[in-house]
Structure 1
């Protein structure tokens, strides 16, 4: 065991001493599958403890609470994303497919991946790009499902090649500049796609004014209650346990209460409900009125699929591969940050290989939306398994993680429960679409919290410099330089969203997203190294910073929940 600890000890990167040369987890090895083999070598001795650590007496309670908490946190977005896939693909996918994708992908990933703390699910960019793939199929009049099958299989090949040739090492060049823009895109997708159907209700002649107004009321009700309850833990009302319960399950409470109110008046208002089949059949109906089989026929379902369609699927497959590379690795980088105090080594190449070799082909064969490591649920998973110690400093308090229950059992059981949720299909059809739109909108607004780009955007609205928040870069740089850096990011975000929103250019938006790392390199022509160091870093990276104590605020719950869990039920 001592030898294993020597191999996996974290010092400025996890280093394998069994190789002739020391390689970190994001280093090029120059060998075929060299990084992948080193990942397996690092993680293999820990595989047994990955399953048993969750059930150690000192970890059992924390593991159980994390499972129940993350089950709800992952299920609510799966339902919401399922409804968005249903609308955007004209019924090709539905809620059952999204729940099944989340469950199966999560079970596979938690069993074989190198970083089992990452939670898989749908994300905003993957939703947007799946709709791009649908538009590409419709544009050339071919069946979407076989086209989607070949797109996923090509993506599987590209993803495996990325893992085999150590291309995860390129993540060393991705900084907070790119991460903030990527997170900003996710937020915009949630916000705009959440509110757009509510606005469009008033332009549809088939809907009465009563129907439009009531759906708007449900939208506001759901968003308002989720927002209020998410911060309920920081209020002085009631007992602490009740406050924590309300904050942890804010989205679920808002969703259930909105659905209950809709049930009372649904007969009078003609509300549009979620479309879910209670017989567990796929959502797509064929020309003869029957449901498509669960196994997708790559040669065509209703009509023959042309051979040129297989080659046509290469371009969107590359886009999916780029998105998957960024989504998966950005989440892994955040989970594996030294500040989280993880003891077991990361395995970036292994994570990507498992996704390419196992989860992608399964989703292709079954015709399911793709799932990828989702940042917010993954962070929440880490937080729920972490014990914190509060250090008192002259400037305030600092939360320091002292122990993380690193294992794969909680992730596995979370997705087992999500799979069992398929039996709730007869109940899901009573969820109003307006309520789900409210949840989607809440996800977008809540995900703005902690984004450095949007924090700096708020500075544009403050005219008195004396009222600026005391961010580390404000204390060390002229405000004009801060605003210029923010402007560059805003322009990049605008271009990125514009490319996604315009059908003629939407297929290339993942490639512009990948180019953000190059744009960041080019900023050296506009900013000094010191300026970039201050602006392109996390708020807590500077050792001089601490988290100031706020009166009445529960800064930390030593049983594993802290203030950041207000984002609990988002999936980006």
Structure 2
């Protein structure tokens, strides 16, 4: 570690030289805003190049393709999440609010944050917890339109807590978060997508809330959209057609499935009475006031239809703490994954700066405008990194492996992506022709696709293989007894089940972010169940130690690497 000489001058005139500690990105400095100031110093020399590197001749083509691809990849979830917010909050939020939140938050973050490769947007846990906050507001008899003032104060308290976390170097706690917690967190996101995606389709039949013909047609649209998106996402590996066409079909699989399913639905919309996405073409908020008018874009924190009670401001502290914990985990887990050494990034990270920007800028904007919260979204962020990476094929005795040799690290692509998402607000008149069933299918597809590369679900598949000789040769399978692998997986499954149960039950849903935070403590306690060597093998990625650097992983880390025979398509990671 490099050391700098610091000179101290005492009253006696004696000059002493003492080494000044070189703090890492996730070290406690012991000073107020010490980590934040160091993040700013690390990133400041690169600020100009962050805006110009994307337009260098050798980077321009890759930057443009990344912008076009990520625009679609980020817009589709924004529309889908908007429809879910619309249903879950009884019209408090809608698609326009979600698109605006994604656009504004992304532009602010990409301009000022320490890791501009992270893509902001809605996530499954944030969707779930926003619905929890809505239920809390209704439970204490805050009238329906009083949710917006309550939400305003919740976001402002969350802003304060997030700033304090950044100022007091609490991002350093992420050193204690390992793959054990990351896999469970990713598993929760997948379960939310999968269950919430298919549930409305099943309820169409169980609750008889719509004619049978309509329910059947929505189910067909759901299956068609999911099936076509899944088939096209692997189209680049097919032997048919030109390579350009195969890549085009794979990169825009979700978009093609969404558009064609909507066109099919339009042919039979009159006969089937399909439920369509509710979007107003006048660019006004979705919430309708008691007098029939739309709420203004600026939220009145003192109340809308009636004065907001003072005790409600204090009551908002409880869900604000949960939001702050959830935002801390969501933001930092994504940053840790993006900044992994295997991604070969050259510019320094800025964990404290990222969180400070979110707390001081993006959260207040969402609070004032009454928008759903956006946070660093893991899979789009990794997709962004992959799309900007140049890979080289490394020849090894066991086969070929693509390794990253250069990443176009800059702010411009992220900023332009979110500008284009904001321009999509002008598509509002066309969005109302999207069937709900198609969006539910996209949500379901997001969950299935996000299972790719999750070590927890990889190990769960081992439970279905009865012949040990047919096990995939993962590095931990080669080095550990299979019973120990199954025990480790069982602990993760129990934690995931508890986490989802806490979220799903209204009486306990407010505490699920705190249990998520406790996963790091549970992981520490597993030292009493497993040896250090077992934990090293089970709680790490292939290639993280020197022993595995010389050989290719039998199953590559799909978040960081691409292989010749087992390429992870961009579309599989695009949600």
Specify the TM-score bucket, using the shorter chain as the normaliser. over 0.9
Counterpart in 1 of 2:15? none
Offset, 1:513: 0.1
**Can you list the C-alpha shifts for 1:389-425, whole angstroms capped at 9, x where unaligned?**
0011001111111110000000000000000000000
2:335 to 329, 332, 339: 332
Q: Which residue of 2 aligns with 1:13?
A: none
Aligned to 1:417: 420
Q: Is the 8 A contact 1:472 1:545 kept in 2?
A: no
1:407-465 deviations in Å (ceiling 9; x for gaps): 00000000000000000000000000000000000000111111000000000000000
When residues 495 and 154 of structure 1 are mapped into structure 2, their CA distance, relative to the original with a 3 A threshold, is same
2:499–2:515 contact (8 Å) kept in structure 1: yes
Deviation at 1:557, TM superposition (A): 9.5
Please list every run of 5 or more consecutive structure 1 residues that lacks an aligned counterpart in the other structure.
8-17
Shift of 1:566: 3.1
Is the CA contact 2:183–2:454 (under 8 Å) kept in the aligned structure 1? yes
Q: Are residues 1:38 and 2:38 paired? A: yes
Any conservation in 2 of the 1:73–1:568 contact (CA below 8 Å)?
Answer: no
Quote the RMSD (CA, aligned, Å): 1.8
Partner in structure 2 of residue 532 of structure 1: 535
| 1:546 has 2:574 as partner | no
TM-score under structure 2 length normalisation:
0.94
Q: Which residue of 1 aligns with 2:113?
A: 113
Runs of 5+ unmatched residues, structure 2: 5-17
Q: Name the SS for the 2:115 alignment partner.
A: coil
Q: Relative to structure 1, is the Cα distance of residues 177 and 568 closer, same or farther in structure 2, using a 3 angstrom cutoff? A: closer
Q: Distance in 2 between matches of 1:90 and 1:524?
A: 46
Q: Which residues of 2 match residues 429-448 of structure 1 at below 5 A?
A: 429-448=432-451
Q: Who is 2:494 aligned against? A: 491
5 Å-filtered alignment, 1:426-505, equals 426-505=429-508
If the length of structure 1 is used for normalisation, what is the TM-score? Answer: 0.94
Distance 1:19 1:260 in 2: 68
In 2, Cα distance between the equivalents of 1:364 and 1:335? 28
Q: Does 1:127 align with 2:127?
A: yes
Question: Which of the numbers 181, 184, 205 marks the counterpart of 1:181?
Answer: 184
> Are the counterparts in 1 of residues 3 and 20 from structure 2 also a CA contact under 8 Å?
no
1:563 aligns with 2:565: no
Contact residue 396 and residue 547 of structure 1 kept, 8 A: no
* Distance in 2 separating the partners of 1:242 and 1:19: 59
1:59-78 to structure 2, matched below 5 A, reads: 59-78=59-78
Match of 1:285 among 267, 283, 288: 288
Q: Which residue of 1 aligns with 2:234?
A: 231
- CA separation of 1:568 and 1:484: change in aligned 2, threshold 3 A: closer
**Alignment of 1:257 onto 2:260:** yes
Q: How far apart are the structure 1 equivalents of 2:543 and 2:334?
A: 18
2:463 counterpart SS class:
helix
Using the TM superposition, give the Cα deviation of residue 21 of structure 1 relative to its aligned residue in structure 2, in angstroms: 1.1
* CA apart distance, 1:556: 5.6
The alignment partner of 2:549 has SS state of: coil
Matched-pair contact (CA < 8 Å) for 1:396–1:549: no
SS of match in other structure, 2:206: coil
SS in 2 for 1:46: helix
Matched length: 550
Partners of 1:235 and 1:339 in 2: CA distance: 29
Aligned mate of 1:210, from 205, 213, 225: 213
Pick which of 274-283 and 239-248 moved more.
Answer: 239-248
Match of 1:296 in 2: 299
Question: Which residue matches 2:362?
Answer: 359
Distance 1:34 1:284 in 2: 43
- Note the C-alpha offset of 1:19: 8.8
User: 1:344-370 CA distances to partner (integer Å, 9 max, x unpaired)?
Assistant: 000000000000000000000000000
Q: Is the 8 A contact 2:115 2:335 kept in 1?
A: yes
CA deviation after TM superposition for structure 1 residue 538, in Å:
1.3
What SS class does the counterpart of residue 525 from structure 2 fall into?
A: helix
CA distance 1:19–1:49, shift in 2 (3 Å): farther
Runs of 4+ with >3 A deviation: 547-550, 555-558
In the TM superposition, what are the counterparts of 1:29-178 in structure 2 within 5 Å? 29-142=29-142, 143-178=146-181
SS at match of 1:402: strand
1:248 to 251, 258, 261: 251
CA distance 1:274–1:463, shift in 2 (3 Å): same
Q: Check the 8 A contact 1:210/1:269 in 2, yes or no.
A: yes
Alpha-carbon distance in structure 1 between the residues aligned to 2:429 and 2:214: 24
